[in-house]
Amino acid sequence: MEQYFAGQNAKQFEEKLRPFISQIRLEGNLEPTKAEQDHAFLIQLVYWFRRSFKWDSDPRCEGCGSETINQGLDTPIPSELQYGAFRVELYSCRYCLRTTRCPRYNDPLKLLETRSGRCGEWANCFTLYCRAFGYATRLVGPFLLCGIHTRD
């Protein structure tokens, strides 16, 4: 049997496939079911979300954009508590020494605005998108460990 690779003998490969494609068109039902369309959309949603949501494990300095060093936790201020940030991490800039606050928001609507975080924020926001598009999903996990994920 001949082997064909992408980019090699493409014309020859198409010629060999043509009769099979015609036969599939005659015999097959090429209309995807609703379940197949939903599945395909969900896969596209995952890829889009992975590109659009910033994984923020090492926050950059708000002032100069340089690397920071974790300085521990601070008490949330009212504007952070308003969006469920009961945990606020502090980071000190390696260059200008400015302190950057990193509130860990739990409100998915706030996460639509910030579009960044770690596992908890990621799963929380992604679950919101899934539910908005009609997928029966729920947020699962122990919230203090890095094990939160979205389930159907």
**Dihedral (CA of 63, 66, 71, 73) sign:** positive
Q: CB 3 → Zn ion: shortest distance, Å?
A: 55
Q: CB 105 → Zn ion: shortest distance, Å?
A: 22
* Three-state secondary-structure class, residue 123: helix
**Which CB sits closer to Zn ion, 59 or 141?**
59
Closest C-alpha to 139, from 151, 125, 121 = 151
**Which CB sits closer to Zn ion, 87 or 98?**
98
**Dihedral (CA of 73, 78, 83, 84) sign:** positive
Residues that bind Zn ion (CB under 5 A): 61, 63-64, 66, 93, 95-96, 98
**Which CB sits closer to Zn ion, 93 or 148?**
93
Q: CB 100 → Zn ion: shortest distance, Å?
A: 8
Q: CB 91 → Zn ion: shortest distance, Å?
A: 10
**Which CB sits closer to Zn ion, 40 or 64?**
64
Q: CB 55 → Zn ion: shortest distance, Å?
A: 21
Amino acid type, 52: S
| Backbone conformation region of residue 60, classed left if phi is above 0, alpha if psi is from -120 to 50, else beta | beta
**Which CB sits closer to Zn ion, 100 or 119?**
100
* Three-state secondary-structure class, residue 70: strand
b/e for 103-112, b at 16 or more Cβ within 10 A? bbbbbbebbe
Q: Which two tokens stand for residue 114?
A: 């910030």
